[in-house]
Amino acid sequence: MNSVVNFRDIGGFPTQQGTVVKTGHFFRSGELVNIAQADQQKLVEDYQIKRIYDFRSAAETQERPDDSIQGTNYLHIDILADIQAQTASLEGMLKTVGSPDEAMDMAYKEMVLSNSGRKGYQTFFENFLSYPQEAILFHCFAGKDRTGIGAALILSALGVEHSYILEDYLKTNEQRKTANEQIIAQYQANGTPPAEIQQLETLLYVKKEYLATALQAIEKEFGSVEGYLKEGLGLPLSAKKDML
C-alpha cells in the first residue's frame, strides 16, 4: 500500500476474554487521495473493503476529496465539526495561543466529548454494526488522531488490554515518518520560522499522553469506555457481541 499512508489492520490483538480480534475486518489509514490503481485494487480485491468512513472536516474533504473507489460505500462523518475552524486544522493549530501539546489535549477531549464527536462516533459504530460481514476502512487526514480514537474505541469495546491499544496507536509515528518529513520540508521551503517548525513536529506525531487525555475524559464523564459507548454514544448492550 505505497500510496495509502498509515494503513493497517487493527485485528489480531488478544482480548481479556481469551479471544482474538478478527483480522481482515477493521482497517485504518490516512486520507485516500491520489491512490495508485494497484492499491485501489488491493483495497477492494485483497482486503475486501466494502465501507469507507471519512472523519475529516467539510473543508478538508472539499479541498482534497477521497478518490472514488469502485465497489465501496463512502460515508463522511465530521468528528470535529463543533471545534472552531482554527483549531481543527494543522495551520490553525500553529496559530493558536499556547503550546501544541495543549492544543492536542483540547482536541482529544473535544473528539470524545463534543456533540459532533459523540454523534460522529455514534454514527460510525451504528453504521458498521449494521453490516457485520463487511470489512471497513476508517480514516482522517493523517490517520492518527480522529482515526486513532476510533481504533481505540473499537479495541476497547472488544476487550483488548490498554497496552495493545497503545501499541496500535503509537505505530502511527513509524508509519507516518516519511510523510511527516515531507510536510516539514515543505513548510521549511515556504519560509516557516524555526519555532513554528518545532511546533509542527509536535503536531505531526502522536504521544501516549494524548490518548490518555481522551480516555481520562471518558472515564471522568462516563466511568469507562463501556459506559461511554452505552451512555455517550447510545449504543445497545448487544453492540459488543455484534462486533465479534
Cell numbers placing 194 = 524555526
pLDDT at residue 89 is higher than 80 = no
Is residue 19 assigned to a domain? yes
What is the domain count for the chain? 1
Put the strands of the sheet holding 8-9 in their side by side order: 8-9, 26-29, 135-139, 49-54, 73-76
Is residue 192 assigned to a domain? yes
More confident residue, 147 or 84: 147
Is residue 3 assigned to a domain? no
Q: Is the dihedral of CA 115, 135, 12, 5 positive or negative?
A: negative
Is residue 1 assigned to a domain? no
Q: What CA–CA distance (Å, rounded) separates 148 from 28? A: 8
What value does the mean pLDDT of the chain take? 93
For the ranges 19-23, 93-97, 187-191, 225-229, the lowest mean pLDDT is seen at: 93-97
Is residue 232 assigned to a domain? yes
Q: What CA–CA distance (Å, rounded) separates 96 from 64? A: 24
Determine the pLDDT at residue 238: 77
CATH (domain of 117): 3.90.190.10
pLDDT at residue 86 is higher than 50 = no
Is residue 2 assigned to a domain? no
Cell numbers placing 3 = 500510496
Residues 30-55: what's their mean pLDDT?
A: 98
Structural domain boundaries, residue 14? 8-243
pTM above threshold 0.85 = yes
Residues 13-42: what's their mean pLDDT?
A: 96
pLDDT tens track for 114-170 = 999 999 999 999 999 999 999 999 999 999 999 999 999 999 999 999 999 999 999
